[in-house]
Structure 1
Amino acid sequence: MHNDAPVYLCEIVCPYQPTRTLRSANNNMLEVKRTRTQAGDCSFAVAAASLWNNLPTVIKTWDNLTSFKRLLKTHFCVIRHEHYINFS
């Protein structure tokens, strides 16, 4: 999102640009490609965009890569822990 990604990733995952003015336009979201099959739903482009869009805004807007990785890891560990607690 901060123009640090390799070109091949930028070609696969595109920023969300609504066709009209929406509040979601400023949320650093990615476009989720429409698919017709379950296999398409599991593709990298769809899964990566969905995961990114579901992150809290504070993580998506972090500028420092090291801190971003730490926040991301913490976020997913908390989610996994909550999931584990709910199914225990």
Structure 2
Amino acid sequence: MICQHLKDAGDPPPQTPYAQGCPECVAGGFDDWVHLRLCLNCGKVACCDSSPRRHMSHHHAEVGHPVMRSYEPGETWRWCFDDEQLG
């Protein structure tokens, strides 16, 4: 059964274009992110947990936004951090 966070998640426009990569990595002088994720609460774009700095997980820990989705071309899956559920 799908969790309520995934059911209620919106799909805000991203705060940054895909081609620029992870904004926090770029700002720090890094270009080694693996994949990008999009916060479905606020539209923040950040790198995934396979990336060295795991900025999307840090975003969840800092602000508590529960759901993100893949921000990779052709991917539409979502993840709820709170319930550890894929949707």
Larger helix share, 1 or 2: 1
Greater Rg over alpha carbons, structure: 1
TM-score, length of structure 1 as denominator length:
0.25
TM-score, length of structure 2 as denominator length:
0.26
Higher RCO, Cα 8 Å, sep 6+: 2
